[in-house]
Amino acid sequence: MGAVVKGPGTAFRESSADPRTESVPFSHLSLELGHLYMEDFAEGPTRLRRHFAAVRPWVEAARAGLGPLAPGRRPRISTCFLIDDYFSRLSTPAELIPPLLEAAAEAGLTIDYLARESGCAGPAADGSRHRDRAVLAESVLHRLVESPPPGSNGFRPPVGRTGWLTNGRRTPSQRTSAALDATGVWQPPSETEARGHSVFLDVELWNGPEDGRTWSCAFLAAVWQLVRLGLLRHNGAAVLTPVRWEDGTFPADWDALPPVLRLNPSATPFTAYATCSVLPSRFLPVEHAVRVILDQVHVEAEALAQVAERSAGEGFPVPAGVVDRTSYVFPPGL
């Protein structure tokens, strides 16, 4: 495997044997200003105004909660909003986005970056550089390393085949014979890291046939968190790099829009050391699933090392575990 043969005074390097990992810029915090279903948009501007009015105080709180920074450092907080164009497309960007931005502005909020949910499933980066059919969600799927319940010695059906991921051990499958059922002993599922009692969760990552999978909302949301944390690469290259979009006009087709837009020219970087998402509490189950997924994603070591080095360098160390870098606010009235 050793790609570099070293010795006194001589070295032979082969570039293809020595992959590089592109670095990305970092804000301190990536703040998500809510998430809405397409149906919510359909309710009109009043619904959007109500949303951002409820989000507003928590944005202030998240800013304050960043804590003291090293002397001379200004907090770098970028805001983002994810639009669900993956599960339904009731309207066009031209119809949907301007009222959204207006409603945010009315509440005194700026959306720095706007992202499309299908970008989390779709091509890994701009199509010109990666013409292969690799998709981001699939890459993350390949990076899942299941948390082993005690007793796991190397055998388990891989998640890649089943499409389900748990935080523990499932109930053993039961025989269906009625005669056996009478005597059969039911065994409960268990959560691996339970404190006393289990909260067992089994997350569906996708459904549908292999060549036409529909990724689950929870899985795409986990990808979205990893993208915001700057931890994903494709063959070493950064993914979903924001594209400047400052003229205020939007196309009639979602696919004509880059996956991540930078709407605010003075925004701090999209990717950040930590994330905070202000969400309606109906998303609580989804975000529980997101945490179960994030806890089992093996992030590329070099990407992790870059964050650790950079954040420590500016006196803002991040937790080692990826899931511990995410936080949520579920405010009332959202």
Partner 1 sequence: MGGLGTTSGPVLACGEVRTCLLPHRRAVDEPTAVRLLGLRADEPVRTSRRPNRHACSPGVLTGVDCLLPTATGAKVRAVGTVTAHAGLVEGRVLQSTAYFSAPAEGPDRRRPWGYYLVRPGLLVPVGRLPGKSVTEGFLTGHQQDRLDVGSIAESLLARISRHDLLDHDAPLTTTDTSLRWTASPAGDGEPASALLTELGSGLRIAELRLPRGTTPLAAAALCEDLALHDWLLTTVGDKLDGLPPGSENQAAALKVLRPLVDHLLHLWMPRARLDRALSPLWEELERHPGFSRQWNTMAQRIRDQLALQNLIRGDAPARS
Distance of CA 49 to the CA centre of its chain: 26
Which span (45-53, 87-95, 175-183, 294-302) binds partner 1, by CB under 8 A?
294-302
Can residue 298 be called a binding residue for partner 1 (CB under 8 A)? yes
Return the number of the residue (92 or 235) whose C-beta is nearest partner 1.
235
Q: What is the DSSP letter of 148?
A: P
Return the number of the residue (91 or 139) whose C-beta is nearest partner 1.
139
Q: What is the closest distance, in whole angstroms, from the C-beta atom of residue 115 to partner 1 in the complex?
A: 19
- Residues within window 202-261 making contact with partner 1, judged by CB under 8 A: 232-236
Can residue 147 be called a binding residue for partner 1 (CB under 8 A)? yes
Can residue 14 be called a binding residue for partner 1 (CB under 8 A)? yes
Residues counted in the chain: 334
Which span (4-12, 44-52, 101-109, 113-121) binds partner 1, by CB under 8 A?
4-12
Q: Answer whether 226's CB lies under 8 Å from 299's CB.
A: yes
Can residue 108 be called a binding residue for partner 1 (CB under 8 A)? no
Interface residue with partner 1 among 63, 73, 142, 282 (CB under 8 A) is 142
Which span (90-98, 170-178, 257-265, 296-304) binds partner 1, by CB under 8 A?
296-304
Rounded to the nearest 10 degrees, the angle between the axes of helix 217-228 and helix 284-294 is 60
Can residue 321 be called a binding residue for partner 1 (CB under 8 A)? yes
Can residue 19 be called a binding residue for partner 1 (CB under 8 A)? yes
Can residue 201 be called a binding residue for partner 1 (CB under 8 A)? no
List the structure tokens of 194.
Answer: 């339970």
Task: Give the span between the Cα atoms of 66 and 275, in whole angstroms.
Answer: 11
Return the number of the residue (181 or 193) whose C-beta is nearest partner 1.
193
* Number of residues this chain uses to bind partner 1 (CB under 8 A): 50
Interface residue with partner 1 among 42, 90, 105, 134 (CB under 8 A) is 134
Can residue 55 be called a binding residue for partner 1 (CB under 8 A)? no
Among candidate residues 252, 262, 288, 248, the one with its CA nearest the CA of residue 165: 288
Burial of 314 (0-12, 13-18, 19+ CB in 10 A): middle
Interface residue with partner 1 among 2, 71, 209, 212 (CB under 8 A) is 2
Task: Give the span between the Cα atoms of 272 and 100, in whole angstroms.
Answer: 24
Distance of CA 303 to the CA centre of its chain: 15
Q: Answer whether 35's CB lies under 8 Å from 84's CB.
A: yes
Identity of the residue numbered 270: F
Q: Answer whether 329's CB lies under 8 Å from 278's CB.
A: yes
Return the number of the residue (138 or 204) whose C-beta is nearest partner 1.
138
- The helix or strand, by DSSP H or E, that contains position 324, with its residue range, turns out to be none
Give the angle subtended at the CA of 274 by the CAs of 228 and 295, to the nearest 5°: 80
- What is the contact surface with partner 1 in residues (CB under 8 A)? 1-3, 5-7, 12, 14, 16-19, 124, 134-135, 138-139, 142-143, 145-155, 192-193, 232-236, 295-301, 304, 320-324
